[in-house]
Amino acid sequence: MHLTGQARLAGVIGWPVAHSRSPLLHGTWLARHAIDGAYLPLPVHPDDFPACVAALVRMGFAGVNVTIPHKQAAFALCDEVCPGALRAGAVNTLVFRDGAILGSNTDGTGFLANLRAHDIDPAAGPALVLGAGGAARAIGAALADCGIPVTYCNRTHERATTLATTLSGRAIRWDDRAAALSDHALLVNTTALGMSGHAALDLTLDAAPPSLAVADIVYVPLETGLLAAARARGLRTAGGLGMLLHQAVPGFAAWFGVTPVVDNELYRIVAADLAG
């Protein structure tokens, strides 16, 4: 596909950004739909973030994804944010329209879409969320918006209680995570534990009811120790790569005017790149 002078432009801003699979993901969709557009990796230092976003608006970009460490700074720059982003206090998707910056947070909706793609009903019962960082906040807000009671459990207990207060959930102590499984329909790991280069998540699933669904948002490796243990017990599981793919859909639709599909081929393309 050759770009014309009218090509639509979008990208991902992060620091660093070289590890991001978003250019591959959006590039695959652009090629599939033969769209006159491009999606670029945009490494931007935090000190330069507001000026760079303002420049992209003026240069006619359709919008950008925002990743670590800019999600809160991007929230502060928005002229309008969607309710989910307001609850999460952070945005990961910016749409530029008539000089205004519209922000949304698609991590939570992407997480829910991935559960449904795995035939897991998020509303089946209470959810136990491990972690209290940015991803926990976005996912907790999305679950709460569906009316699902959420329990937060985090190594640093104060962060779990703060999140529980903000999102009308409850908090339990980190040491109580294994025993709490019996009271929940969904377990979500939003900590970095289990990710390559990090310690494993220390959690026995002995108290898990057979109906428990287990989601891990870590996607390197694709099958974390938690997912492998859950599968071995016959529990339903959903991995982090699916969430990454689903969270990208609304941005692409807004920037390029086509709602793309998350399918097995896309999963294989990004998974192969991660494995390489």
Ligand X SMILES: NC(=O)c1ccc[n+]([C@@H]2O[C@H](COP(=O)([O-])OP(=O)(O)OC[C@H]3O[C@@H](n4cnc5c(N)ncnc54)[C@H](OP(=O)(O)O)[C@@H]3O)[C@@H](O)[C@H]2O)c1
Residue 40 DSSP SS3: strand
Q: Closer to ligand X by CB, 36 or 145: give it.
A: 145
The residue annotated as part of the active site, out of 71, 87, 177, 184, is 71
Which residue type sits at 4?
T
Please pick, from the candidates 17, 244, 249, 270, the single residue that binds ligand X as defined by CB under 6 A: 244
- Give the footprint of ligand X on residues 130-189 (CB under 6 A): 131-136, 154-156, 159
Backbone angles phi, psi at 116, to 5 degrees: -65, -35
Tell me: is residue 154 an annotated ligand-binding position. Answer: yes
Q: Which of 157, 196, 153 is nearest to 178 (CA)?
A: 153
Where does this chain touch ligand X (CB under 6 A) — which range of 46-54, 56-64, 214-222, 268-276?
214-222
21 is in an annotated binding site: yes
Q: Is 114 annotated to bind ligand?
A: no
Contacting residue, 1, 76, 179, 199, with ligand X by CB under 6 A: 199
Closest to ligand X by CB, 8 or 177: 177
Residue from the set 22, 106, 109, 191 that interacts with ligand X by CB under 6 A:
191
CA separation for the pair 235, 213 (Å, rounded): 6
Please state, in angstroms and as integers, the Cα–Cα distance from residue 145 to each residue in 79, 112, 170, following that order.
Answer: 23, 11, 15
Quote the Cα angle for 133-56-95, to 5°. Answer: 55
User: Contact 65/248 with Cβ under 8 angstroms?
Assistant: yes
Instruction: Tell me which residue of 143, 145, 213 sits closest to 185, measured CA to CA.
Output: 213
- Letters for 92-111 (x = contact with ligand X by CB under 6 A, - = none) are ---------------x----
C-alpha dist (Å) from residue 135 to 11, 32, 94, 144: 21, 30, 17, 14
| Choices 27-35, 48-56, 72-80, 240-248; region in contact with ligand X by CB under 6 A | 240-248
Q: How many residues bind ligand X (CB under 6 A)?
A: 24
CA 157 to chain centre: 23
Residue 190 labeled ligand binder: no
Least distance between ligand X and beta carbon 181 (Å)? 17
What DSSP designation does 16 have?
A: S
Nearer to ligand X by Cβ, of 35 and 241: the residue is: 241
Consult the annotation and say whether 155 binds a ligand: yes
Could you tell me where the DSSP H helices lie in the chain? 22-32, 49-58, 71-77, 83-88, 107-117, 134-145, 157-166, 225-232, 240-247, 249-256, 264-275
The residue (of 134 and 250) whose beta carbon lies closer to ligand X is 134
63 is annotated as contributing to ligand binding: no
Q: Which is nearer to ligand X, 35 or 215 (CB)?
A: 215
162 is catalytic: no
CA-to-CA distance for 154 and 49, rounded, in angstroms?
A: 30
Going by the annotation, the residues of the binding site are 20-22, 67, 92, 107, 131-135, 154-159, 217, 219, 240, 247
Interface with ligand X (CB under 6 A): 107, 131-136, 154-156, 159, 190-193, 195, 199, 217-219, 240, 243-244, 247
Going by the annotation, the residues of the binding site for shikimate are 20-22, 67, 92, 107, 219, 247
Q: Which residues are catalytic?
A: 71
